[in-house]
Amino acid sequence: MTDLTATPALADAQNRSLFKRGERTRRRHATERRFRAIGLAAVIFGILALVGLLGSILSNGVSSFRQTYVALDVYLDPAKLDKTGDRDPEALRKLTTFTYQPLIKTALETLIEEKGISVEGLGAKDAEGIISKEAPATLRHFVLANPSKIGEAVRFELLADGRIDGYYKGRVTMETAKLDRNVSPEQLMLADKLKTAGALSTRFNWAFLTAPDASDTRPEAAGLGVAILGSAYMMLIVLVLSLPIGVAASIYLEEFAPRNRLTDIIEVNIANLAAVPSIVFGILGLAVFINYAGLPQSAPIVGGLVLTLMTLPTIIIATRAALKAVPPSIREAALGVGASKMQSIFHHVLPLAAPGILTGTIIGLAQALGETAPLLLIGMVAFVREFPAAPPGGFFDPASALPVQVYNWTQRGDPAFIERASGAIIVLLVFLVIMNLGAIFLRRRFERRW
Protein backbone atom coordinates (compact mmCIF):
# COMPACT_ATOMS: atom_id res chain seq x y z
CA MET A 1 0.00 0.00 0.00
CA THR A 2 1.05 3.57 -0.61
CA ASP A 3 1.99 5.64 2.46
CA LEU A 4 -0.20 8.82 1.99
CA THR A 5 1.51 10.61 4.83
CA ALA A 6 4.69 10.57 2.83
CA THR A 7 3.34 13.04 0.25
CA PRO A 8 4.44 16.69 0.81
CA ALA A 9 0.92 18.16 0.40
CA LEU A 10 -0.61 15.86 3.00
CA ALA A 11 2.25 16.40 5.40
CA ASP A 12 1.85 20.19 5.05
CA ALA A 13 -1.91 19.89 5.69
CA GLN A 14 -1.30 17.86 8.81
CA ASN A 15 1.14 20.49 10.13
CA ARG A 16 -1.40 23.35 9.74
CA SER A 17 -3.14 24.58 12.84
CA LEU A 18 -5.54 27.39 13.79
CA PHE A 19 -3.27 28.14 16.75
CA LYS A 20 -0.05 28.29 14.75
CA ARG A 21 0.66 31.02 12.18
CA GLY A 22 1.98 29.83 8.87
CA GLU A 23 4.43 31.58 6.59
CA ARG A 24 1.69 33.05 4.38
CA THR A 25 -0.12 34.42 7.43
CA ARG A 26 3.06 36.05 8.69
CA ARG A 27 3.69 37.64 5.30
CA ARG A 28 0.10 38.92 5.14
CA HIS A 29 0.32 40.42 8.64
CA ALA A 30 3.67 42.01 7.80
CA THR A 31 2.17 43.58 4.65
CA GLU A 32 -0.75 44.90 6.71
CA ARG A 33 1.63 46.43 9.25
CA ARG A 34 3.65 48.10 6.49
CA PHE A 35 0.49 49.49 4.91
CA ARG A 36 -0.66 50.89 8.26
CA ALA A 37 2.76 52.42 8.85
CA ILE A 38 2.74 54.05 5.39
CA GLY A 39 -0.76 55.38 5.95
CA LEU A 40 0.13 56.76 9.36
CA ALA A 41 3.30 58.34 7.96
CA ALA A 42 1.25 59.99 5.18
CA VAL A 43 -1.21 61.41 7.71
CA ILE A 44 1.59 62.71 9.94
CA PHE A 45 3.36 64.24 6.93
CA GLY A 46 0.15 65.96 5.85
CA ILE A 47 -0.46 67.33 9.34
CA LEU A 48 3.12 68.58 9.63
CA ALA A 49 2.90 70.23 6.20
CA LEU A 50 -0.37 71.92 7.20
CA VAL A 51 1.07 73.06 10.52
CA GLY A 52 4.17 74.39 8.75
CA LEU A 53 2.05 76.25 6.20
CA LEU A 54 -0.23 77.77 8.82
CA GLY A 55 2.76 78.61 11.01
CA SER A 56 4.47 80.40 8.13
CA ILE A 57 1.33 82.37 7.26
CA LEU A 58 0.60 83.30 10.87
CA SER A 59 4.19 84.27 11.65
CA ASN A 60 4.30 86.58 8.63
CA GLY A 61 0.74 87.85 8.68
CA VAL A 62 -0.37 88.35 12.28
CA SER A 63 1.74 91.50 12.53
CA SER A 64 -0.32 93.11 9.76
CA PHE A 65 -3.20 93.42 12.25
CA ARG A 66 -1.05 95.79 14.33
CA GLN A 67 0.12 99.20 13.19
CA THR A 68 2.33 101.98 14.54
CA TYR A 69 0.78 105.43 15.00
CA VAL A 70 2.15 108.85 15.95
CA ALA A 71 -0.10 111.11 18.04
CA LEU A 72 0.13 114.77 16.97
CA ASP A 73 -1.82 117.89 17.88
CA VAL A 74 -2.19 119.53 14.47
CA TYR A 75 -3.28 123.15 14.26
CA LEU A 76 -5.60 123.55 11.28
CA ASP A 77 -4.32 126.96 10.26
CA PRO A 78 -7.07 129.01 8.57
CA ALA A 79 -4.42 131.12 6.84
CA LYS A 80 -3.49 128.04 4.80
CA LEU A 81 -6.78 126.18 4.61
CA ASP A 82 -9.46 128.87 4.44
CA LYS A 83 -8.16 132.34 3.72
CA THR A 84 -11.62 133.75 3.00
CA GLY A 85 -13.09 132.34 6.21
CA ASP A 86 -16.38 131.22 4.62
CA ARG A 87 -15.68 127.46 4.95
CA ASP A 88 -16.78 126.90 1.37
CA PRO A 89 -16.75 123.09 0.73
CA GLU A 90 -15.91 123.55 -2.95
CA ALA A 91 -12.90 125.71 -2.12
CA LEU A 92 -11.74 123.20 0.49
CA ARG A 93 -11.93 120.36 -2.02
CA LYS A 94 -9.57 122.23 -4.33
CA LEU A 95 -6.83 122.12 -1.71
CA THR A 96 -4.39 119.27 -2.38
CA THR A 97 -2.51 117.21 0.19
CA PHE A 98 0.56 119.41 -0.36
CA THR A 99 -1.30 122.16 1.53
CA TYR A 100 -1.61 119.96 4.62
CA GLN A 101 1.99 118.71 4.68
CA PRO A 102 3.41 121.87 6.35
CA LEU A 103 0.81 121.56 9.13
CA ILE A 104 2.09 118.07 9.98
CA LYS A 105 5.70 119.22 9.86
CA THR A 106 4.96 122.09 12.25
CA ALA A 107 3.05 119.80 14.64
CA LEU A 108 5.92 117.28 14.71
CA GLU A 109 8.52 119.98 15.33
CA THR A 110 6.41 121.38 18.16
CA LEU A 111 6.06 117.90 19.71
CA ILE A 112 9.82 117.26 19.52
CA GLU A 113 10.53 120.64 21.09
CA GLU A 114 7.97 120.18 23.89
CA LYS A 115 9.33 116.71 24.76
CA GLY A 116 12.92 117.95 24.66
CA ILE A 117 13.92 115.30 22.13
CA SER A 118 17.09 115.65 20.14
CA VAL A 119 18.89 113.22 17.86
CA GLU A 120 22.33 114.07 16.60
CA GLY A 121 22.57 114.25 12.82
CA LEU A 122 18.81 114.28 12.25
CA GLY A 123 17.48 117.17 10.18
CA ALA A 124 13.93 118.54 10.17
CA LYS A 125 13.14 116.92 6.81
CA ASP A 126 14.43 113.52 7.99
CA ALA A 127 12.36 113.81 11.17
CA GLU A 128 9.27 114.41 9.07
CA GLY A 129 10.03 111.15 7.25
CA ILE A 130 8.84 109.02 10.17
CA ILE A 131 5.27 110.05 9.33
CA SER A 132 3.47 108.17 6.57
CA LYS A 133 2.80 109.89 3.25
CA GLU A 134 -0.84 109.00 3.89
CA ALA A 135 -1.04 111.55 6.74
CA PRO A 136 -1.84 114.63 4.59
CA ALA A 137 -4.74 112.73 3.00
CA THR A 138 -6.00 111.83 6.48
CA LEU A 139 -6.04 115.50 7.45
CA ARG A 140 -7.72 116.49 4.20
CA HIS A 141 -10.53 113.96 4.66
CA PHE A 142 -11.06 115.18 8.22
CA VAL A 143 -11.25 118.83 7.19
CA LEU A 144 -13.69 118.11 4.37
CA ALA A 145 -15.92 116.21 6.80
CA ASN A 146 -15.51 118.79 9.63
CA PRO A 147 -14.87 122.26 8.15
CA SER A 148 -15.91 123.86 11.43
CA LYS A 149 -12.71 122.51 13.05
CA ILE A 150 -10.53 124.87 11.00
CA GLY A 151 -8.74 127.21 13.39
CA GLU A 152 -8.50 124.61 16.15
CA ALA A 153 -5.76 122.22 17.26
CA VAL A 154 -7.01 118.68 16.69
CA ARG A 155 -5.34 115.53 17.96
CA PHE A 156 -4.66 112.98 15.20
CA GLU A 157 -3.40 109.41 15.34
CA LEU A 158 -1.34 109.44 12.15
CA LEU A 159 0.24 106.40 10.54
CA ALA A 160 3.96 106.01 11.00
CA ASP A 161 6.06 105.30 7.93
CA GLY A 162 6.23 101.65 6.83
CA ARG A 163 9.92 101.34 7.77
CA ILE A 164 9.24 102.72 11.27
CA ASP A 165 6.36 100.25 11.62
CA GLY A 166 8.64 97.46 10.40
CA TYR A 167 11.21 98.43 13.04
CA TYR A 168 8.76 97.56 15.81
CA LYS A 169 7.77 94.34 14.05
CA GLY A 170 11.33 93.09 13.58
CA ARG A 171 11.57 93.65 9.82
CA VAL A 172 13.94 96.62 10.16
CA THR A 173 16.99 96.90 12.43
CA MET A 174 19.62 99.54 13.06
CA GLU A 175 22.04 97.55 10.88
CA THR A 176 19.67 97.26 7.92
CA ALA A 177 18.70 100.94 8.28
CA LYS A 178 22.28 101.91 7.48
CA LEU A 179 21.88 100.28 4.06
CA ASP A 180 18.32 101.44 3.42
CA ARG A 181 17.75 104.71 1.57
CA ASN A 182 14.15 104.88 2.87
CA VAL A 183 15.06 105.05 6.57
CA SER A 184 18.06 105.97 8.69
CA PRO A 185 19.26 104.89 12.15
CA GLU A 186 18.63 108.45 13.35
CA GLN A 187 14.96 108.17 12.40
CA LEU A 188 14.69 104.93 14.34
CA MET A 189 16.28 106.64 17.35
CA LEU A 190 13.74 109.45 17.07
CA ALA A 191 10.93 106.89 16.94
CA ASP A 192 12.25 105.21 20.09
CA LYS A 193 12.34 108.54 21.92
CA LEU A 194 8.82 109.42 20.77
CA LYS A 195 7.64 106.03 22.00
CA THR A 196 9.28 106.64 25.38
CA ALA A 197 7.54 110.01 25.50
CA GLY A 198 4.17 108.33 24.82
CA ALA A 199 3.66 109.94 21.40
CA LEU A 200 4.21 106.76 19.39
CA SER A 201 2.41 103.46 19.93
CA THR A 202 1.62 100.19 18.20
CA ARG A 203 -1.94 98.93 18.46
CA PHE A 204 -4.60 96.91 16.66
CA ASN A 205 -5.08 98.04 13.08
CA TRP A 206 -8.80 98.14 12.22
CA ALA A 207 -7.95 100.04 9.03
CA PHE A 208 -6.39 96.87 7.62
CA LEU A 209 -9.91 95.43 7.37
CA THR A 210 -11.74 98.60 6.35
CA ALA A 211 -9.35 100.82 4.34
CA PRO A 212 -8.84 100.54 0.57
CA ASP A 213 -5.57 99.64 -1.13
CA ALA A 214 -2.68 102.10 -1.17
CA SER A 215 0.14 102.90 -3.58
CA ASP A 216 3.49 101.13 -3.71
CA THR A 217 5.07 103.80 -1.49
CA ARG A 218 2.50 103.52 1.34
CA PRO A 219 2.22 99.90 2.45
CA GLU A 220 1.29 100.99 5.97
CA ALA A 221 -1.98 102.47 4.61
CA ALA A 222 -3.02 99.47 2.48
CA GLY A 223 -6.21 97.72 3.55
CA LEU A 224 -8.70 95.06 2.48
CA GLY A 225 -11.91 97.11 2.58
CA VAL A 226 -12.58 97.21 -1.17
CA ALA A 227 -11.45 93.59 -1.64
CA ILE A 228 -13.72 92.28 1.13
CA LEU A 229 -16.69 94.22 -0.24
CA GLY A 230 -15.95 93.07 -3.80
CA SER A 231 -15.74 89.43 -2.71
CA ALA A 232 -19.00 89.79 -0.76
CA TYR A 233 -20.77 91.22 -3.82
CA MET A 234 -19.49 88.40 -6.02
CA MET A 235 -20.50 85.71 -3.54
CA LEU A 236 -23.98 87.25 -3.34
CA ILE A 237 -24.30 87.07 -7.13
CA VAL A 238 -23.00 83.49 -7.20
CA LEU A 239 -25.44 82.42 -4.47
CA VAL A 240 -28.48 84.08 -6.06
CA LEU A 241 -27.75 82.61 -9.50
CA SER A 242 -26.06 79.26 -8.95
CA LEU A 243 -28.27 77.86 -6.17
CA PRO A 244 -31.69 78.03 -7.92
CA ILE A 245 -30.26 77.18 -11.35
CA GLY A 246 -28.17 74.32 -10.01
CA VAL A 247 -30.97 72.84 -7.91
CA ALA A 248 -33.52 73.15 -10.72
CA ALA A 249 -31.16 71.48 -13.20
CA SER A 250 -30.41 68.70 -10.74
CA ILE A 251 -34.10 68.01 -10.04
CA TYR A 252 -34.87 67.84 -13.73
CA LEU A 253 -31.95 65.56 -14.58
CA GLU A 254 -32.50 63.27 -11.61
CA GLU A 255 -36.29 63.08 -11.44
CA PHE A 256 -37.84 64.08 -14.76
CA ALA A 257 -35.35 63.78 -17.63
CA PRO A 258 -35.74 60.68 -19.81
CA ARG A 259 -32.79 58.34 -19.96
CA ASN A 260 -31.56 58.80 -23.51
CA ARG A 261 -28.46 59.81 -25.45
CA LEU A 262 -29.10 63.54 -24.96
CA THR A 263 -29.24 63.37 -21.17
CA ASP A 264 -26.16 61.13 -21.17
CA ILE A 265 -24.27 63.81 -23.12
CA ILE A 266 -25.47 66.50 -20.70
CA GLU A 267 -24.37 64.50 -17.66
CA VAL A 268 -20.95 63.79 -19.16
CA ASN A 269 -20.45 67.47 -19.97
CA ILE A 270 -21.44 68.54 -16.44
CA ALA A 271 -18.88 66.13 -15.02
CA ASN A 272 -16.27 67.45 -17.44
CA LEU A 273 -17.04 71.09 -16.61
CA ALA A 274 -16.37 70.37 -12.93
CA ALA A 275 -12.79 69.45 -13.88
CA VAL A 276 -12.11 72.31 -16.31
CA PRO A 277 -9.32 74.67 -15.09
CA SER A 278 -10.72 77.88 -13.66
CA ILE A 279 -8.71 80.05 -16.04
CA VAL A 280 -10.82 78.69 -18.92
CA PHE A 281 -13.90 80.22 -17.31
CA GLY A 282 -11.99 83.49 -17.11
CA ILE A 283 -11.34 83.37 -20.86
CA LEU A 284 -15.04 82.64 -21.42
CA GLY A 285 -16.05 85.57 -19.21
CA LEU A 286 -13.66 87.91 -21.03
CA ALA A 287 -15.02 86.86 -24.43
CA VAL A 288 -18.74 86.76 -23.59
CA PHE A 289 -19.44 89.16 -20.74
CA ILE A 290 -16.88 91.89 -21.51
CA ASN A 291 -16.09 91.78 -25.23
CA TYR A 292 -19.56 90.70 -26.42
CA ALA A 293 -22.03 91.88 -23.75
CA GLY A 294 -20.04 95.05 -22.99
CA LEU A 295 -20.09 94.74 -19.20
CA PRO A 296 -17.45 96.80 -17.36
CA GLN A 297 -14.11 95.30 -16.48
CA SER A 298 -13.15 94.77 -12.83
CA ALA A 299 -16.82 94.80 -11.81
CA PRO A 300 -18.37 92.33 -9.33
CA ILE A 301 -21.15 91.53 -11.80
CA VAL A 302 -18.67 90.05 -14.27
CA GLY A 303 -16.73 88.25 -11.56
CA GLY A 304 -19.97 86.89 -10.11
CA LEU A 305 -21.16 85.60 -13.48
CA VAL A 306 -17.83 83.91 -14.21
CA LEU A 307 -17.72 82.29 -10.77
CA THR A 308 -21.35 81.21 -11.18
CA LEU A 309 -20.46 79.29 -14.33
CA MET A 310 -17.55 77.71 -12.48
CA THR A 311 -19.64 76.80 -9.41
CA LEU A 312 -22.71 75.39 -11.19
CA PRO A 313 -21.21 71.93 -11.98
CA THR A 314 -20.17 71.47 -8.34
CA ILE A 315 -23.65 72.36 -7.06
CA ILE A 316 -25.38 70.16 -9.66
CA ILE A 317 -23.23 67.14 -8.83
CA ALA A 318 -23.68 67.61 -5.06
CA THR A 319 -27.44 68.15 -5.41
CA ARG A 320 -27.91 65.07 -7.56
CA ALA A 321 -25.96 63.00 -5.03
CA ALA A 322 -28.18 64.35 -2.24
CA LEU A 323 -31.34 63.51 -4.21
CA LYS A 324 -30.09 59.99 -4.91
CA ALA A 325 -29.41 59.47 -1.19
CA VAL A 326 -33.12 59.84 -0.37
CA PRO A 327 -34.60 56.30 -0.16
CA PRO A 328 -37.01 55.36 -3.00
CA SER A 329 -39.57 54.38 -0.37
CA ILE A 330 -40.11 58.08 0.40
CA ARG A 331 -41.15 58.73 -3.19
CA GLU A 332 -43.25 55.59 -3.36
CA ALA A 333 -45.05 56.39 -0.10
CA ALA A 334 -45.87 59.91 -1.28
CA LEU A 335 -47.17 58.64 -4.61
CA GLY A 336 -49.11 55.91 -2.80
CA VAL A 337 -51.16 58.40 -0.77
CA GLY A 338 -52.11 60.37 -3.87
CA ALA A 339 -49.35 62.98 -4.22
CA SER A 340 -48.29 64.01 -7.69
CA LYS A 341 -44.75 63.57 -8.95
CA MET A 342 -44.07 67.26 -8.34
CA GLN A 343 -45.54 67.17 -4.83
CA SER A 344 -43.56 64.10 -3.85
CA ILE A 345 -40.34 65.81 -4.90
CA PHE A 346 -40.88 69.28 -3.44
CA HIS A 347 -42.75 68.23 -0.27
CA HIS A 348 -40.80 65.11 0.66
CA VAL A 349 -37.61 64.44 -1.33
CA LEU A 350 -36.21 67.99 -1.49
CA PRO A 351 -36.50 68.70 2.28
CA LEU A 352 -34.68 65.46 3.05
CA ALA A 353 -31.96 66.30 0.51
CA ALA A 354 -31.57 69.88 1.82
CA PRO A 355 -28.51 69.19 4.06
CA GLY A 356 -26.53 67.75 1.15
CA ILE A 357 -27.65 70.55 -1.18
CA LEU A 358 -26.66 73.26 1.30
CA THR A 359 -23.33 71.58 1.98
CA GLY A 360 -22.52 71.35 -1.73
CA THR A 361 -23.55 74.97 -2.26
CA ILE A 362 -21.34 76.29 0.54
CA ILE A 363 -18.39 74.19 -0.63
CA GLY A 364 -18.89 75.57 -4.14
CA LEU A 365 -19.02 79.13 -2.77
CA ALA A 366 -15.87 78.52 -0.73
CA GLN A 367 -14.10 77.29 -3.84
CA ALA A 368 -15.25 80.36 -5.79
CA LEU A 369 -14.13 82.69 -2.99
CA GLY A 370 -10.53 81.53 -3.33
CA GLU A 371 -10.29 81.66 -7.13
CA THR A 372 -7.78 84.09 -8.63
CA ALA A 373 -7.05 83.14 -12.26
CA PRO A 374 -10.49 83.90 -13.79
CA LEU A 375 -10.67 87.24 -11.97
CA LEU A 376 -7.28 88.29 -13.32
CA LEU A 377 -8.48 87.75 -16.87
CA ILE A 378 -11.56 89.95 -16.43
CA GLY A 379 -9.51 92.88 -15.12
CA MET A 380 -10.04 92.67 -11.37
CA VAL A 381 -6.30 93.12 -10.93
CA ALA A 382 -6.78 96.88 -11.31
CA PHE A 383 -5.78 99.28 -8.53
CA VAL A 384 -9.07 100.39 -6.90
CA ARG A 385 -9.33 102.88 -4.03
CA GLU A 386 -12.99 103.90 -4.25
CA PHE A 387 -15.55 101.70 -2.51
CA PRO A 388 -18.33 100.35 -4.75
CA ALA A 389 -21.81 101.71 -4.09
CA ALA A 390 -24.62 99.73 -2.49
CA PRO A 391 -26.30 97.05 -4.63
CA PRO A 392 -27.53 96.86 -7.29
CA GLY A 393 -25.52 99.79 -8.68
CA GLY A 394 -22.40 98.67 -6.83
CA PHE A 395 -22.34 95.43 -8.84
CA PHE A 396 -21.19 97.48 -11.84
CA ASP A 397 -18.59 99.61 -10.00
CA PRO A 398 -14.87 98.74 -10.08
CA ALA A 399 -13.79 96.51 -7.20
CA SER A 400 -11.18 94.00 -6.20
CA ALA A 401 -11.33 90.58 -4.50
CA LEU A 402 -9.45 88.96 -1.64
CA PRO A 403 -7.40 86.44 -3.68
CA VAL A 404 -6.57 89.09 -6.29
CA GLN A 405 -5.49 91.49 -3.56
CA VAL A 406 -3.12 88.84 -2.24
CA TYR A 407 -1.71 88.41 -5.74
CA ASN A 408 -1.28 92.18 -6.16
CA TRP A 409 0.57 92.63 -2.88
CA THR A 410 2.97 89.76 -3.53
CA GLN A 411 4.04 91.48 -6.78
CA ARG A 412 5.18 94.66 -5.00
CA GLY A 413 8.75 95.18 -3.88
CA ASP A 414 8.31 96.53 -0.35
CA PRO A 415 8.58 93.74 2.28
CA ALA A 416 5.67 95.35 4.14
CA PHE A 417 3.35 94.25 1.33
CA ILE A 418 4.41 90.62 1.89
CA GLU A 419 3.25 91.04 5.47
CA ARG A 420 0.00 92.51 4.17
CA ALA A 421 -0.44 89.60 1.75
CA SER A 422 -0.01 87.07 4.57
CA GLY A 423 -2.56 89.00 6.63
CA ALA A 424 -4.99 88.91 3.70
CA ILE A 425 -4.49 85.14 3.45
CA ILE A 426 -5.41 84.85 7.14
CA VAL A 427 -8.61 86.83 6.50
CA LEU A 428 -9.41 84.64 3.49
CA LEU A 429 -8.80 81.46 5.52
CA VAL A 430 -11.05 82.76 8.28
CA PHE A 431 -13.87 83.27 5.76
CA LEU A 432 -13.30 79.79 4.34
CA VAL A 433 -13.33 78.20 7.80
CA ILE A 434 -16.53 80.05 8.68
CA MET A 435 -18.20 78.87 5.46
CA ASN A 436 -17.16 75.26 6.04
CA LEU A 437 -18.31 75.40 9.66
CA GLY A 438 -21.59 76.77 8.34
CA ALA A 439 -21.88 73.79 6.02
CA ILE A 440 -21.29 71.39 8.91
CA PHE A 441 -23.84 73.22 11.08
CA LEU A 442 -26.51 73.22 8.37
CA ARG A 443 -25.96 69.53 7.70
CA ARG A 444 -26.35 68.70 11.39
CA ARG A 445 -29.27 71.10 11.77
CA PHE A 446 -31.39 69.82 8.89
CA GLU A 447 -30.23 66.22 8.76
CA ARG A 448 -32.97 63.65 9.16
CA ARG A 449 -32.54 59.95 9.79
CA TRP A 450 -34.72 57.29 8.32
Burial 375-386 (b: 16+ CB within 10 A, else e): bbbbbbbeebee
Sequence-ordered list of residues with C-beta below 8 angstroms from that of 379, at least 6 positions apart, any chain = 290, 297, 298, 302
pLDDT at 3: 53
Measured CA distances, 326 to 37, 158, 320 (Å): 38, 60, 10
89-118 pLDDT, tens digit per residue, is 888 888 888 888 999 999 998 998 888 888
How far apart are the C-alpha atoms of 350 and 320, rounded to whole Å?
A: 11
pLDDT at 1: 46
Sequence-ordered list of residues with C-beta below 8 angstroms from that of 265, at least 6 positions apart, any chain = none
Burial bucket for residue 121 (CB in 10 Å: 0-12, 13-18, 19+): exposed
pLDDT at 389: 86
The answer to whether 290 and 297 are in contact (CB under 8 A) is: yes
pLDDT at 366: 86
pLDDT at 393: 86
Q: Where in the chain is the domain with CATH 1.10.3720.10?
A: 225-446
Length of the chain: 450
pLDDT at 448: 65
Sequence-ordered list of residues with C-beta below 8 angstroms from that of 150, at least 6 positions apart, any chain = 76, 78, 81, 82, 87, 143
How far apart are the C-alpha atoms of 178 and 270, rounded to whole Å?
A: 60
pLDDT in tens, the chain (450 residues): 455 455 555 555 555 555 666 778 788 888 888 999 999 999 999 999 989 988 888 888 888 899 999 999 999 988 888 887 778 888 888 888 888 899 999 999 899 888 888 888 787 788 888 899 999 999 999 988 888 888 888 999 999 998 999 999 888 888 988 888 888 888 899 999 999 888 899 999 898 998 888 888 888 888 999 999 999 999 999 999 999 999 999 998 888 888 888 888 888 888 888 888 888 888 888 888 888 888 888 889 999 999 999 999 989 998 998 888 888 888 888 888 888 888 888 888 888 888 888 888 888 888 888 888 888 888 887 788 888 888 888 889 888 899 999 988 988 878 889 899 999 999 998 988 888 888 788 777 776 665
CATH number of 225-446, picked from 3.40.50.460, 1.10.10.10, 1.10.3720.10, 1.10.287.3510: 1.10.3720.10
Q: How many CB atoms lie within 10 A of CB 172?
A: 21
End-to-end CA distance of the chain: 68
pLDDT at 120: 82
362-382 pLDDT, tens digit per residue, is 888 888 888 888 888 888 877
